[in-house]
Amino acid sequence: METAEQARVEAVRELGLLDTPPEERFDRVVRLAQGLFGVSTAAVNLVDVDRFYVKSAAGFEAGASVPRDVTFSARTIDLGEALVIPDAQKDAGWADHPLVTGEPRIRFYAGRPLAGPNGKVVGVLCLIDQEPREVSESDRALLDDLAGWVETELAADAEAVQAREIQRRLLPRKAPDVLGYDIAGRCRPAYTVGGDYYDWHLLDDTMLQITVADVMGKGLAAGVIAAGLRTAMRVAARSHTLMEAVRRTAEGLEDDFNDSATFATMFTARLRPQQGHLEYIDAGHGLAVLVSPGSPTRQLSSRDLPVGAQPGTIWTSHEARLLPGDTLIVVSDGLLDAFADPALAMRAAARLVASASSADEMADQIVAAAASAPLADDLTAVVVRREPA
Amino acid sequence: MTDPSTAVLQPTGRLNMVAAPAFKHLVEETVASGQARIVVDLGEVTFIDSSGLGALISGLKATRQAGGDLRIADVPEQVMTVLRLTNLDRVLRAHTTVADASDDW
């Protein structure tokens, strides 16, 4: 069972704002708070497991982490409502506190918890001064208003949460049922979601189209492009050859790629299951291998450019055979967070295949292999295994 | 002498999702100011991620649209690996030095 504190910490982390630089949208609020209340210091603090991260500050420098237990704001969080200390020196609970007896010699403190987009408390807007002062009802209302403003800005970061949701919805719910094949896919989103997805669908009941793509960039923007790419590929694939489908998709999304300063690497393939015939296009993806027992592992790559990198690009189809017992593995560059070099990553993937007995297990192991490394990028793995004869 | 229409940009540290938007903006401003030939000195870049790559490609498109080009120089191994993996080394040709990249537009 997840505790309330765990859920709270998760909400803070999902914002994706811990350890990020100051931003004008928050700085503006703390500057205004400092001026309106005439205090020496105002800050927006985000509360992690055991520390405060000063996201934005007026009167001192933002960017620091402060141990959670020593702060006034920790008390505000525990309280779950505004905490106002008119004069800490005269307050029995605070008079001996090191931040009162020593630097920064806090006399006045007012803190208002900040709720994240899902209602969980993620931080505190606080005011500090070296002189005691009283807080009127209208001051409290003002503090509420300012905190509400910060909360609105935090909700803009719900974007990160939405991005994760978009990505989740792009993924197929279950593996396709193809006689003689065992197929699995996994996508492990990074801390800040990138634009990875995988997709598969049957064409004319005779061919399986499989795509793994990675839209460069992060967050909602990458997610929206990924959604567009997936739809465009699905539609174009229904009535065109693989080469033409990729070309039309790229052409249709050209403006979107330009406007968002992004592009996508993509591996897309058509499999004729009975023959084990595989037609593929590697659009700058570079991370697909064919693992064949008793033969050297073969990388299925080309020198074709990613989609959206350069107008007028032509992509070429290549062919491969999936014999009984063979496995096709396609991963995304998130695997490179764990392996320095693409060749090493692909060899590791091949080793995992040799030791696992099902496509599900293989995909799980590939994702798990990178689990020890902090994932800066999404990690996607698709495994297509042709069952041994 | 460097041609006055050539600009040299020197991003430093991690060219990632935090730094990429500012870098993209800088390229756009440089192009808007009339310098459509841009050399990006990557010698001080320690790491590039997908957002950084996106910014470089977007810069390449912006300069070409303005009749110029974007070239990269002194490319660290990590950046080179990513460029090779994505085949983008075909369009973003790596030059050894800034001087080398600044010749023969």
Which CATH number is A296's domain given? 3.60.40.10
Of A56-70, A261-275, B86-100, least confident by mean pLDDT is A56-70
- Least confident range of A128-132, A365-369, B77-81: A365-369
Same domain? For A227 and A120 the reply is no
Contacts with A, B 43-72, CB within 8 Å: 49-51, 53-55, 57-58, 61
Please give the average per-residue pLDDT across A92-112, as a whole number.
Answer: 92
Same domain for A96 and A20, yes or no, is yes
Query: For residues A286 and A331, what is the distance between their CA atoms, to the nearest angstrom?
Result: 9
Domain range for A16 is 4-156
The predicted structure's pLDDT at residue B55: 93
Inspect the interface and report whether the beta carbons of B88 and A305 lie closer than 8 Å: yes
Residue A69 pLDDT class (50, 70, 90 cuts): confident
Closest of A216, A192, A190 to residue A379, by C-alpha: A190
Task: Give the model's confidence band at B1: pLDDT under 50 very low, under 70 low, under 90 confident, else very high.
Answer: very low
- The two structure tokens encoding residue A103: 């630097």
What pLDDT shows up at residue B103? 84
* In the predicted structure, residue A131 carries a pLDDT above the cut 80: yes
| Residue A191: band (very low, low, confident or very high) from pLDDT cuts 50, 70, 90 | low
| Residue numbers in B near A263 (CB within 8 A) | 53-54, 57
**Does A126 lie in the same domain as A245?**
no
Quick one: pLDDT at residue B2? 53
A225 and A291, same structural domain? yes
Q: Which residues of A touch B81 (CB under 8 A)?
A: 341-342
Domain range list for chain B: 6-101
Q: Report chain A's terminal Cα–Cα distance, integer Å.
A: 45
Q: Phi/psi of residue A245, each to 5°? A: -65, -40
CB-CB neighbors (< 8 A) of B24 in chain A = 261
Both structure tokens of B92: 């973003």
Distance from CA of A79 to the nearest CA of B (A): 34
- Please give, rounded to a whole number of angstroms, the shortest distance from the CA of A81 to a CA of chain B: 33
Number of domains in chain A: 2
For the ranges A83-92, A212-221, A243-252, the lowest mean pLDDT is seen at A212-221
Close Cβ partners of B100 (under 8 Å, ≥ 6 residues apart)? B73
Confidence of residue A234 (pLDDT cuts 50, 70, 90): very high
Residue to substitute from B28, B50, B53, B92, interface A, most A β-carbons within 10 A: B50
pLDDT at A228 over 80: yes
ipTM over 0.90: no
Contact between A256 and A216 under an 8 Å Cβ cutoff? The reply is no
Segment A242-264 shows an average pLDDT of 93
Residues A318 and A179 in one domain: yes
At A126 the pLDDT is: 95
Please count the CA atoms within 13 angstroms of the CA of B76 that sit on its side-chain side.
15
Single residue among A156, A184, A202 that ends a domain in this structure: A156
Residue B77 near chain A (CB below 8 Å): no
Q: Is the pLDDT of residue A99 over 70?
A: yes
Question: Which residue intervals of chain A are DSSP H helices?
Answer: 4-15, 24-37, 72-79, 98-101, 137-156, 158-170, 219-239, 242-252, 254-259, 342-355, 359-369
- The CA distances from residue A48 to A5, A11, A54, in Å, are 10, 10, 11
- How is A37-52 classified by DSSP, letter by letter? HT-SEEEEEEE-SSEE
- pLDDT higher than threshold 80 for residue A184: yes
What's the average model confidence in pLDDT over A43-67? 89
Contact of A262 with chain B, judged by CB distance below 8 Å, is answered with yes
3-state secondary structure (DSSP) of residue A54: strand
Is there a contact between A261 and B54 if contact means CB atoms under 8 Å apart?
Answer: yes
Mean pLDDT value across residues A235-240: 94
Residue A340 sits in the same domain as residue A218: yes
Between chains, do B85 and A341 touch, taking CB under 8 Å as contact?
no
CA–CA dist A316, A247 (Å, integer): 10
Contact between chains at B54 and A214 (C-beta distance less than 8 A): no
The rounded mean pLDDT for chain A is 89
Predicted confidence (pLDDT) at residue A152 exceeds the cutoff of 80: yes
Q: A310 CB near a chain B CB, below 8 Å?
A: yes
User: CB contact, 8 Å: A315 with chain B?
Assistant: no
What's chain B's length in residues?
A: 105
In a shared domain, residues A63 and A208: no
A373 pLDDT higher than 80:
no
Is A194:A218 a contact under the CB 8 Å cutoff? yes
Residues A105 and A211 in one domain: no
Average of per-residue pLDDT across A83-94: 93
What span, in angstroms and rounded, lies between the C-alpha atoms of A66 and A57? 13
Tell me the pLDDT tens digit for each residue of B67-105: 999 999 999 998 999 899 899 999 998 999 999 888 888
Q: Cα B28–B87–A213 angle (5° rounding)?
A: 85
| pLDDT given at position A218 | 77
Strands A51-58 and A318-321: unpaired
- Identify whether residues A143 and A169 lie together within a single domain: no
Confidence tier at A49 by pLDDT (50, 70, 90) = confident
pLDDT band at A1, cuts 50/70/90? low
- Yes or no, beta carbons of A309 and B88 under 8 Å apart: yes
Give the pLDDT score at A2. Answer: 67
Average pLDDT over residues A147-153: 90
Torsion of CA A94, A95, A99, A102, to 10 degrees: -170
A18, two tokens: 């811990």
Greatest Cα-to-Cα distance within chain A, rounded to the nearest angstrom? 84
Of the candidates A140, A156, A172, which is a domain's last residue?
A: A156
Query: Between these two residues, A349 and B82, which has the higher pLDDT value?
Result: B82
pLDDT tens profile A316-337: 999 999 999 999 999 988 777 7
> Judging by beta carbons within 10 Å of its beta carbon (0-12, 13-18, 19+), is residue A55 exposed, middle or buried?
buried
Q: How confident is the model at residue B40 (pLDDT cuts 50, 70, 90)?
A: very high
pLDDT at A377 over 70: yes
Contact at 8 Å (CB) between B26 and B12? no
Query: A66 versus B13: which is more confidently predicted?
Result: B13
How many Å apart are CA B50 and CA A195, to the nearest integer?
10
DSSP A305: P
What superfamily would CATH give domain B6-101? STAS domain (3.30.750.24)
Q: In chain A, what percentage of residues exceed pLDDT 70?
A: 96
Give how far B98 is from chain A: nearest CA, Å: 24
Cis peptide upstream of residue A104 (ω within 30 degrees of 0): yes
Question: If you search the block for the tokens 């938007």, which residue do you land on?
Answer: B21
- Cα separation, B88 vs A194, in Å, equals 19
